[in-house]
A and B are shown apart, each in its own frame.
Chain A
Amino acid sequence: MADTCFGVAYEGGVVLATDQSNARSIMVYQTNLDKITELTSHSAMAVSGPNCDLVNFTQYISKNLQLYELANDGTKLSTHAQANFARGELAKALRKGPYQVNVLMAGYDEGKGGSLYFM
């Protein structure tokens, strides 16, 4: 909660920056939480929100994207496809048990350069 995430896309890629705090009111649980999760070799996700959803959602997306590459002989998903997969999962959970996360997903695609998605 009360976290900050920045993302800047440019021709050669994307820069993501986040803070590292994990705290509730005066209880400071962590000052070294990495809120950027690596997804594939060329994409990552910066997330803000309650720690439970932050960790759960990022790992769920990350593991599924890794499974895709394993199951499909190394075929890579574009950043656009990864973002749509993630937003689909958020939408599915929305009317059941929503993930209270805000996401900045970033990736680099050959021929396209860097792209940044907010969801």
Chain B
Amino acid sequence: QLLISFTMARRYDSSTTTFSPEGRLHQVEYAIEAINNAGTCIGILAKDGIVMASERRITSGLLAPAKTSEKTYKLCHHAACNVAGLTADANILIDQARLRAGRYEYQYQEPIPVEQLVEHVCNYKQSYTQYGGLRPFGVAFLFAGHDQHHGFQLYQSDPSGNYSGWKATVIGANNQAGKSLLKSDYKEDGTVQEALKIAVKVLNKTMDGTAASADKMELFTMTLNDKKECVHHILTLEEAKRLIDAVEAESASAGDS
């Protein structure tokens, strides 16, 4: 069965704008596959904020450290995203998101509701699966944001332009292993601190093979300050180290391996 569909696929997979006889868009599926090789990103919704944790893939010791982050991007005051996939593709979409957020605020003098921002990026991605014969974007996003309508929200999107809201999710390499661990460990209405620890645990699992260390992880939190403004924070190396040590201590005392 599988063999037949692969040979069939070759006739219908070179154009995004063509359905296969089984009703599939192979280019879109291949794009989604590309992301399964990318660095893992985890998102967890807490009652007082959102945590996004990603695997930092350091390809060479000669690399100069990136601006502030290579995985987390601020879109506006109240939204940020994590990228899994082709960074160059992601940059285009992030620009789109920033423009949209800015233009909305210019027009309405109010922050853009998070879902509308996500939907805008996704509609843009979708148009590359239907018009122009251009390839889809090889990017999956985790969007974290806060608005007055729905509080803290976490969304995931993929190259097809589909998106959905999550309490906790994983994208990128080993996301199935990550998701199954989240299913057992995620606690609704947990705090950001608890969510951070769960995120580190999940990253340890998805990155299994590599020793967990603060420089190989990027940990981001979004919370509200006393003035009800969004605070975007990427943990410093020291903060990350302390967190990783705490998680290791807890798992050692709990008796897991």
Contact = CB atoms under 8 A, between A and B. Distances in A.
A73 interface: yes
B108 A84 contact: yes
Interface string B76-108: 000000000000000000000000000000111
A85 B115 contact: no
B110 interface: yes
Contact of A75 (B106, B109, B149): B149
A70 to B, nearest CB: 13
Main secondary structure of the interface of A (DSSP, over half): helix
A26 interface: no
B116 interface: yes
A81 interface: yes
A78 interface: yes
B108 A77 contact: yes
A81 B110 contact: yes
Given A72-B116, A73-B115, A75-B116, A84 B109 contact: yes
A91 to B, nearest CB: 11
A80 interface: yes
A85 B108 CA distance: 5
Contacts of A78: 110
Contacts of B149: 75
Nearest to B104: A81
A12 interface: no
B116 A77 contact: no
Nearest to B113: A75
Interface residues of A, number: 11
A88 interface: yes
A109 B115 CA distance: 21
Given A72-B116, A73-B115, A75-B116, A80 B110 contact: yes
Contacts of A81: 108-110
Contacts of A73: 115
Contacts of A85: 107-108
B104 to A, nearest CB: 9
A73 B119 CA distance: 12
B160 to A, nearest CB: 20
Interface in A55-93: 72-73, 75, 77-78, 80-82, 84-85, 88
A88 B107 contact: yes
B109 A80 contact: yes
Nearest to A82: B108
Contact of A84 (B107, B113, B115, B116): B107
11 contacts: A72-B115, A73-B115, A80-B110, A81-B108, A81-B110, A82-B108, A84-B108, A84-B109, A84-B110, A85-B107, A88-B107
Given A78-B110, A80-B110, 10 more contacts: A72-B116, A75-B116, A75-B149, A77-B108, A77-B110, A81-B108, A82-B108, A84-B107, A84-B108, A85-B108
Listed from nearest, the 3 A-B pairs whose CB atoms lie closest are: A81-B108, A84-B109, A81-B110
